[in-house]
Amino acid sequence: MSEDRPMSEAKDLEMRQTEARAAFEELRRKILAALEALEAECPGPFAEPDQQPGRFVETDWVRADHLGGDGGGGRMALLNGRLFEKAGVHCSTVYGSFPPEFAAQIPGAEEDPQFWASGISLIVHPFNPHVPTVHMNCRYVATSKAWFGGGADLTPMLDARRQQEDADAIDFHAAMKGACLRHREVADYARFKQWCDDYFYLKHRKEPRGIGGIFFDYVSTPAGFDAELAFVRDVGESFLAIYPKIVRRNFATPWAEAERDAQLVRRGRYVEFNLLYDRGTIFGLKTGGNVDSILSSMPPLVKWP
Amino acid sequence: MSEDRPMSEAKDLEMRQTEARAAFEELRRKILAALEALEAECPGPFAEPDQQPGRFVETDWVRADHLGGDGGGGRMALLNGRLFEKAGVHCSTVYGSFPPEFAAQIPGAEEDPQFWASGISLIVHPFNPHVPTVHMNCRYVATSKAWFGGGADLTPMLDARRQQEDADAIDFHAAMKGACLRHREVADYARFKQWCDDYFYLKHRKEPRGIGGIFFDYVSTPAGFDAELAFVRDVGESFLAIYPKIVRRNFATPWAEAERDAQLVRRGRYVEFNLLYDRGTIFGLKTGGNVDSILSSMPPLVKWP
């Protein structure tokens, strides 16, 4: 690499890893603060009206690499509240070597199984069936290659609201589109939106999980690391700009028992998706990941009548 | 095959299929009657004390083979009751050809993907956390080979009861052992018991699903079809002899809210097992099986706190 290149291009992998990790952890702090603020603010109709606002409880965990050495770890934050029946926001930075049976499936790990990965993931299961469930994650992965992956998608729980014409769906899509359009050199909105629709699909039921959003992986572009990280940060900021707005517009709407029931059944679809299809969940569970943080995506209460 | 052989050995495949199917359907009738009788009889402490006994609701379904032709079908029976929060008993007889990606995994289907399979499966999720969940299934499968598979296993929901020293565990094991010992020429109890322990194990949590039972597959012995079917019938009869006894001894035991909670959390493990590991569930869902009957094994209400 030429000595004449600007510092930003010459940045070595270690600096990029440090920056990506710091960005995820900054995003984490902002998201925890935003969700706790919503919890404190909400005076809506809850299961137990006198319940105090929930606060995040944080737990650190460490990972042993499959060869037994230091494998990194993470911090999970879980909230069981009155607005958010369950919310999980997790950061982790893990490293080591992939077990042989997985190395072949990972770009750049075919010959050298060493990897490093840092990311943030969140899932929010609100009490009120009118407030959509949301999921977001961003990660930076380094093998002999390095790339960003991630996305955000919205799952309104009631059939009448799980529609592309609904204001929540329109605004969520607009937010994700905005993040992509502000970083055209990195993000192809049409492709990332389609990827989301294709990914979050329950094949056995022939139905989508929610109304979509964006999904991307293996993002490594000529625009370079700084531009890519700026895009991923913008996905996080766009989530922070839109989800609280969607929560505020819905959380005071009263619900009937039948709507709560519909929500609990819909949550079953979420479980089915995560355990049957989600690559991150299955991969994490089968490679000795932290069971508590991986399965904190499971909804707090679910019905299969 | 010699003309001198007794009729029972010379019996052709079609007769064997007809007999196996009839045996499963007879077992189904007995099980529906036994579970409905328990529902009617129970005067225990229920969520809603004035609730009427549940009755099975039966639904026929047909299967299209993956090439579009007739693929058989089945009858599902579901009960949402007061003793049994949810019970499903299903018979199906399906046939056609395996999709190429599956044919390679099935004995005798490597070269000719034609198959025929008939079976019964049941799962019972009682309301009272003191009453164990139970699962049983038996099947006869024919490709260019033919064999029986099946088993029965018990899952007491409370930690204090999910112990090998508990009377329920001891009696359930004794019943399954009895079925095996009465058919030594077909069933190897020690092997079938170990197979059950190995199969019903949640690797990601490093914990067994329940207290075990028996599990067997690819049963095709020198003793022949009649002896094998007699063993499989005996597994069903032994289930019928022991499970109602276990229900009766537990269903009047009062439970505390914390025990109901523990039950709902334990049911989450059942979901995790069935969606992450259970061959029948995954195979069924990925090969166009009947989603409603396959997923009727999902518990009615589940917590992941």
Q: How far is B116 from chain A (nearest CA, A)?
A: 22
Give A158: exposed, middle or buried? Use CB within 10 Å, 0-12, 13-18, 19+. Answer: middle
Residues 6+ apart with CB under 8 A from B198: none
As a whole number, mean pLDDT of residues A225-246 equals 98
Number of Cβ atoms within 10 Å of the Cβ of B62 = 11
What's the confidence (pLDDT) of residue A45? Answer: 65
Measured between beta carbons, which residues in chain B are less than 8 angstroms from residue A84?
A: none
End-to-end alpha-carbon separation of chain A, Å? 61
Q: Which of A162, A122, A118, A161 is nearest to A140 (CA)?
A: A118
Stretch (H or E) spanning A86: strand A84-97
pLDDT tens, A52-66?
A: 899 999 999 998 887
What's the confidence (pLDDT) of residue A2? Answer: 38
What's the confidence (pLDDT) of residue A46? Answer: 65
As a whole number, mean pLDDT of residues A177-185 equals 98
pLDDT tens, A24-36?
A: 999 999 999 999 9
User: May I ask the CATH architecture of the domain A7-297?
Assistant: 3-Layer(aba) Sandwich (3.40)
What's the confidence (pLDDT) of residue A10? Answer: 41
Measured between beta carbons, which residues in chain A are less than 8 angstroms from residue B268?
A: 298
User: B198 forms bridges with which residues in the sheet?
Assistant: none
Task: Say whether pLDDT at A120 is over 60.
Answer: yes
User: B117 forms bridges with which residues in the sheet?
Assistant: B94, B141
Note the pTM of the prediction, 2 decimals.
Answer: 0.91
Between CA A3 and CA B143 the distance in angstroms is 67
Measured between beta carbons, which residues in chain A are less than 8 angstroms from residue B304?
A: 86, 295-296, 298-300, 302
Instruction: Quickly tell me which residue has 């490597």 as its tokens.
Output: B110
- A13 vs B50 pLDDT, higher one: A13
As a whole number, mean pLDDT of residues A261-285 equals 92
What's the confidence (pLDDT) of residue A20? Answer: 97
Best mutation target among B80, B133, B302 (most A Cβ atoms within 10 Å) is: B302
Residues 6+ apart with CB under 8 A from A270: A133, A155, A209, A297, A299
CB contact under 8 A, B300 and A302: no
What's the confidence (pLDDT) of residue A98? Answer: 83
- A283 vs A13 pLDDT, higher one: A13
CB contact under 8 A, A303 and B305: no
Mean pLDDT over all residues of chain A? Answer: 91
CA R_g for chain B: 19
What's the confidence (pLDDT) of residue A220? Answer: 94
pLDDT tens, B53-64?
A: 999 999 999 988
Phi, psi of A110 (to 5 degrees): -60, -40
What's the confidence (pLDDT) of residue A280? Answer: 83
Q: Which of B88, B103, B69 is nearest to B136 (CA)?
A: B88
pLDDT tens, B82-133?
A: 999 999 999 999 998 887 777 888 888 888 888 999 999 999 999 999 999 9
What's the confidence (pLDDT) of residue A162? Answer: 96
CB contact under 8 A, B305 and A300: yes
Q: Where are the domains of chain A?
A: 7-297
Confidence of residue A139 (pLDDT cuts 50, 70, 90): very high
Between CA A70 and CA B64 the distance in angstroms is 51
Q: Which residues of A touch B (CB under 8 A)?
A: 80, 86, 203-205, 264, 268, 271-272, 275-276, 282, 285-286, 291, 295-296, 298-305
What's the confidence (pLDDT) of residue A269? Answer: 97
Task: Say whether pLDDT at A292 is over 60.
Answer: yes
Residues 6+ apart with CB under 8 A from A201: A207, A208, A209
Nearest to B302 among A205, A286, A302 (CB): A302
CA distances (Å), origin B148, targets B4, B117, B141, B142, B273: 26, 10, 6, 9, 23
Mean pLDDT over all residues of chain B? Answer: 91
CA distances (Å), origin A90, targets A55, A57, A297: 15, 11, 10
Between CA B251 and CA B99 the distance in angstroms is 45
Query: 3-state DSSP call for residue A109?
Result: coil
- A2 vs A223 pLDDT, higher one: A223
Q: What does the block give as tokens for A262? A: 């519909």
DSSP assignment of B87-137, as one string? EEEEEEEEEEE--HHHHTTSTT-SS--EEEEEEEEEEEEESSTTSPEEEEE
ipTM of the complex: 0.89
Q: Which of A152, A135, A119 is nearest to A28 (CA)?
A: A119
Q: How far is B46 from chain A (nearest CA, A)?
A: 17
Task: Say whether pLDDT at A249 is over 90.
Answer: yes
Between CA B107 and CA A246 the distance in angstroms is 53
CB contact under 8 A, B302 and A300: no
What's the confidence (pLDDT) of residue A197? Answer: 98
Q: Which of A103, A97, A57 is nearest to A80 (CA)?
A: A57
> Cβ distance B98 to B83 under 8 Å?
no
What's the confidence (pLDDT) of residue B45? Answer: 65
Residue of B nearest to A287 (CA): B204
Confidence of residue A80 (pLDDT cuts 50, 70, 90): very high
Q: What does the block give as tokens for A68? A: 């037994």
What's the confidence (pLDDT) of residue A4? Answer: 44
Mean pLDDT for back-to-back runs of 10 residues, chain B (305 residues) = 43 91 98 96 71 93 83 94 94 88 81 91 96 97 94 97 97 98 98 98 95 97 96 98 97 94 98 92 78 92 97
